[in-house]
Chains A and B, each alone.
Chain A
Amino acid sequence: GAVVSQHPSWVICKSGTSVKIECRSLDFQATTMFWYRQFPKQSLMLMATSNEGSKATYEQGVEKDKFLINHASLTLSTLTVTSAHPEDSSFYICSASRGHTQETQYFGPGTRLLVL
């Protein structure tokens, strides 16, 4: 169990458009979801933590208006990159946990975003 899916896996868009990435927990209820960004050959950088039904908590330096996060249900969180620019090109990964203190995070397969 504990499968997390992400859609789409690949997206190429023009500069100035908005892109929505979905993260779903398929066989469990995810009280908490996390969004990460990973540049090539670098580690994962936490962007924000979202709890179902409440506003996301963003990490320092992450623009809230640029990266909109909606945790609408216990199985779905979305990340919208608004007015995307080439510097937003990256690998975005979500993870989900049931929210217990000692709970493992389960990761989605990631979404590669390329902004032209």
Chain B
Amino acid sequence: AQKITQTQPGMFVQEKEAVTLDCTYDTSDQSYGLFWYKQPSSGEMIFLIYQGSYDEQNATEGRYSLNFQKARKSANLVISASQLGDSAMYFCAMREGIWGYQKVTFGTGTKLQVIP
């Protein structure tokens, strides 16, 4: 079974509109972390936002927010007021394990294109 599933290979959004990128995960661990990263064409992975499994509030970082629904095992990324510079690949990732040994699994990514 896939640990991280991103069902949207590609998305388009109009500039200044909001967009939601889907991510579902599968784990039997009680303690885990969920991440979203942005990868522009340059290749660098840019950390956007983090949600811990015990965090009760949804994480927010500027224009990014994570819609965490633990019972559904989903961690969707919401980008508000899209900008042209948001065009990139977006990866959802999950970390499992304990201090000293951790494993991070990435989803297959969603290519977001912002239209002027």
Query: Which residue of A51, A104, A110 is within 8 Å of B100 (Cβ)?
Result: A51
- 25 examples of A-B residue contacts, CB within 8 angstroms: A32-B100, A43-B106, A46-B103, A46-B104, A46-B105, A49-B101, A49-B102, A51-B100, A57-B101, A91-B43, A93-B43, A95-B104, A97-B102, A99-B102, A101-B31, A101-B33, A101-B102, A102-B31, A102-B33, A102-B52, A104-B50, A105-B47, A107-B45, A110-B44, A112-B43
Give residues in B with beta carbon < 8 Å to A.
31, 33, 35, 37, 42-47, 50, 52, 91, 95, 97-109
Interface status of A106 (Cβ within 8 A of chain B): yes
**At the interface, is chain B mostly helix, strand, loop or mixed?**
strand
Give the complex CA separation of A51 and B104 in angstroms.
15
Top 9 closest A-B pairs, CB basis? Answer: A107-B45, A44-B106, A110-B43, A109-B44, A43-B106, A43-B108, A102-B52, A101-B99, A104-B50
Is B91 in contact with A101, judged by CB distance below 8 angstroms?
Answer: no
